[in-house]
Amino acid sequence: MGLSVPACEIRPAFTDEVEQVFGQRVSECYQCGKCSAGCPVCVDMDFPPHQILRGLQLGMEDVVLNSRSIWLCASCETCSTRCPQEVDLARLMDVLRQMALAKGIKAPERDIPLFHSIFLSSLRRFGRIFELELMGMRNMRSGHFFKDVLLAPGIFLKGKLGLLPPRTRGRRGLRRAFAKIRDMERKTP
């Protein structure tokens, strides 16, 4: 399966820009496909991870930054772990999302940034993810009030879903880290 896209501008400088921010050469990827084979969300992506990397190697800025794939990446790091060249593809996807946002490119689905926002809010407040809140807030704020509601009882009965937020040590340190990030973002033009 090849990278099948409409005609687009090839911009080699884009590859250099990404490598400078990423801190690793994307040319090290030789397209073995192990990242895509292990990716748990690859089936929902418009381009599998190795093809995103190939598009990046070719300087296909519009294709890469406008893809759904960079937004659907779960940052689980399976791809990074499987890569024989040790390309940190999960971190690269973060870099590409940041670059897309900086260029005014929005996620193709509005629920993706909403999920990220709720996820980080839960992490900031509890030091871990409170899944019940994450599901409830996502459903309420997206307007999909009953999405996956029938899954909750089964997950709860298996002990995988708590009714109360997790107790976590070191939450103050995490809050300080979020405050530093927020301060850095304010200082960045």
pLDDT at 7: 63
H/E stretch holding 95: helix 89-102
Q: Which letter does DSSP use for residue 106 in this model? A: P
Average pLDDT over residues 45-54: 95
Q: Cite the beta strand spans of the chain per DSSP E.
A: none
Residues of the chain above pLDDT 70, percent: 94
Residue type (1 letter), 77? E
Distance CA 55, CA 46 (A): 12
pLDDT at 60: 93
Residues of the chain above pLDDT 90, percent: 38
Does 8 have pLDDT greater than 80? Answer: no
pLDDT at 4: 55
The pair of structure tokens assigned to 185 is 């973002």
pLDDT at 138: 82
Give the position of tokens 């995988």. 160
pLDDT at 160: 77
Distance CA 80, CA 49 (A): 11
Does 109 have pLDDT greater than 70? Answer: yes
Does 2 have pLDDT greater than 60? Answer: no
Does 126 have pLDDT greater than 60? Answer: yes
Give the confidence band of 119 by pLDDT, cuts at 50, 70, 90: confident
CA distances, 54 to each of 6, 50, 73, 83, 103 (Å): 15, 6, 16, 14, 21
Stretch among 5-14, 35-44, 63-72 having the lowest mean pLDDT:
5-14
Give the position of tokens 């980080």. 120
Selection from 86-100, 109-123, 129-143, 163-177 with the highest mean pLDDT: 86-100
Q: Which letter does DSSP use for residue 165 in this model? A: P
